[in-house]
Chain A
């Protein structure tokens, strides 16, 4: 199924309305809904969060766009609320964290497999292996702190084993900035991937810095502090792929197109009929936003929006276990490191990164401590520990 991006003008802005009850919908079932339903919810919350942050930033620099930005941003906010409120209150913050890392792994891997630009694909694979190891560390914390099995959340779609060790993810700032690879000439998928993954990582950083202090356990607090700093590096990494020469308006158009693409992908693959209805409604709303921004673009720049946007959307982002791909990347690229904008071997990191890492680790490494000797076992590691041996 293909979709012409500007063919349907979606729901007009003045008909995009919500009640408080609508933006606080019934949550999904943590136990019965498919893990990919939760993955879509988490990703789309991130996509809406990015929409808000981006639009606020633009409003500070462009007085002409302030009013239309405010109008659309009010709706984006309600959309984010509606989507994020689908997560049920029986998810502990740590269980939701497991779901965030699963989202990062499955979505990043799905993009990396299809990404036409090799540098962007390499960057996605690089980030993938880091989030993969974060999942292992958080699974160990969930087991050892709360006595819970991370696979209750993952539903056997995602492996729980060590990846590139979290303690080597910490890099000096200048080794996190990548080449601005996405240009006007880039393949549409490259543009959509770069914006989507930036959104996903930004919300993960935001989530960790907000919930980290909720934990009483000192090791949990340290682990969230450590991994939040890597998520911030990931935001730096992915946003630096974006084209810095584009105007605000061009970037806004692409943001709205990215939202359309992602809701369209969700709507086509959703297994829960009620949630599918939400994706379809949000798709209509985003088409309305895109049409409105396209009108502003035409009026202001006097150009065809299709000079910025692809006429037809690429195939939907696939939502399915990427286990085999992740395993291959793990075997091939576990020792990869970053030096400036390039990916290098384990012995080629910069002095700045080594010095930065030495200092942050000088009073202990929470990600090592939390998972020391940890091997995943269905039913938690206590299932392997017999009472006599305990």
Chain B
């Protein structure tokens, strides 16, 4: 496990192997290769595929008619309720994954004995508890609206793809606590915007109670962001001093 960047035998750049690099860079001159085609061809296949693509998937309908009737779903009819459900499901997936990210971050914190960032176990555990609470808040919200909180909607699927790299960074034994904080900063930055969007959506469709709960969650996420940003900055500045 590395604690900070160090000088070593990095072989990836052209300057570390001047003799071999010189030989490599003469290839075009020696071989006189033919570079055929128009670079626009690279884009054409993508454009054609976009035009022909099927959607990733869908949002499931409410589980039962009864569920729909007793829920707030009917109140938001006419305002594309599936968009709201999809975004709630996205955030639920994200907060569930976020809880697991903090689980991994806490392991890294304890295993590395980090002392440069200023983070404490209590603070990390508290954020982890917030993420879990947010997940349950969203599960309740989806259920109240007649949705299925266990379904993976389009946005919930995509958010998993988006955060896959963060998971890889935090779970790699070779990364430092500071490396992981950088990944967490990415996570928290997008989380703040997402909760703001959810609150705006809820207000727009008259779900004022939900909107208030989402604003409360946003306040907590803003605190997470400030903490993570501070820890990350400190860990890098200290390492470079």
Contact = CB atoms under 8 A, between A and B. Distances in A.
B54 interface: no
Interface stretch (B35-43, B89-97, B108-116): B35-43
Interface in A128-177: 144, 151-162, 165
A225 B27 CA distance: 28
Contacts of B241: none
B129 to A, nearest CB: 29
B37 A331 contact: no
Contacts of A222: 45
B31 A161 contact: yes
Contact of A31 (B10, B42, B45, B48): B10
Interface residue range, chain B: 35 or more
B11 A34 contact: yes
A31 B12 contact: yes
Interface stretch (A99-107, A243-251, A363-371): A363-371
A35 B40 CA distance: 33
Interface stretch (B13-21, B57-65, B144-152, B225-233): B13-21
B28 interface: yes
A235 to B, nearest CB: 27
Contact of B42 (A35, A89, A90, A369): A369
Contacts of A153: 12
Contacts of A307: none
B27 A162 contact: no
Nearest to A34: B11
Given A160-B27, A372-B42, A155 B35 contact: no
Interface string B155-189: 00000010000001000111000000000000000
B23 interface: yes
Interface string B54-87: 0000000000000000000000000000000000
A388 B168 CA distance: 36
Contact of A371 (B10, B37, B44, B172): B37
B45 A218 contact: yes
Contacts, number: 107
A89 to B, nearest CB: 6
Contacts of A219: 42, 45-46, 49
B25 A162 contact: no
A33 B41 CA distance: 36
B57 to A, nearest CB: 14
A335 to B, nearest CB: 12
A387 interface: no
Task: Identify the 7 closest CB pairs spanning chains A and B, nearest first.
Answer: A372-B37, A218-B49, A156-B20, A159-B27, A152-B12, A369-B41, A372-B41
Interface of B: 8-14, 16-17, 20-21, 23-25, 27-28, 30-31, 33-42, 44-46, 48-49, 161, 168, 172-174
13 contacts: A31-B11, A35-B11, A144-B42, A151-B14, A161-B31, A219-B49, A222-B45, A327-B30, A331-B31, A366-B45, A368-B37, A372-B42, A373-B39
